Amino acid sequence: MRSTVDATLKCALVLIFSILVVCVVWQVVSRFILGTPSTTTDELARFLFMWLALIGGAYTLGQGRHLAIDLLTLQLSGKRKLLSELVILGVVGLFCAIVMVYGGGQLVAKTLASGQVTPSLQIPMGYVYGAIPFAGLVMIYYCLSFALDLGSGKSRQDDEPAFGPLD
């Protein structure tokens, strides 16, 4: 299942990034060559960048490439190391559940209820903010998946890191 989630996120990130590049290139062309900046692509680029950053963060967590200070974990071994990794996963999962899923979900619900739309695209702002609980749910999935791996005796540190950014 994890490989399916990884592949789906990878495809979503490539698609979002590709659209983002097209939007920014068009913004530059319309502003400096045509003399009339496109407000639509400017707004779309901002929102795509938000989704890209949040989904990219979730994907990075799933690949074990997130920023981590692992001085303590590297010094530990055996059950202490396992317990340390489980506590870290629990704290990350709890943060994602409270702040991203619950808090982000409240933000999405309140924004959708208020009827707020984006100025240029007329998209409900709740859809833009939907990246927060979505990324939180994906991060919780990865935390649970890693915790199950640890419970079965497989350490996350044992995995070899992939070579490229989206390998």
Q: What is the pLDDT of residues 75-88, one digit of tens each?
A: 878 788 888 888 88
Which backbone phi and psi does 124 adopt, to 5 degrees? -60, 130
Q: How far is 107 from 3, CA to CA, in rounded Å?
A: 30
Q: What is the pLDDT of residues 103-143, one digit of tens each?
A: 999 999 999 999 999 998 999 999 999 999 999 999 999 99
**pTM of the predicted protein model:** 0.84
pLDDT of res. 163: 44
Q: Coil, helix or strand for 124?
A: strand
Q: What is the pLDDT of residues 34-93, one digit of tens each?
A: 888 888 998 999 999 999 999 999 999 999 888 777 777 778 787 888 888 888 899 999
pLDDT of res. 156: 53
Q: Coil, helix or strand for 95?
A: helix
Residue of higher predicted confidence among 160 and 1: 1
Give the tokens for residue 117. 């739309």
Q: How far is 23 from 20, CA to CA, in rounded Å?
A: 5
pLDDT of res. 2: 87
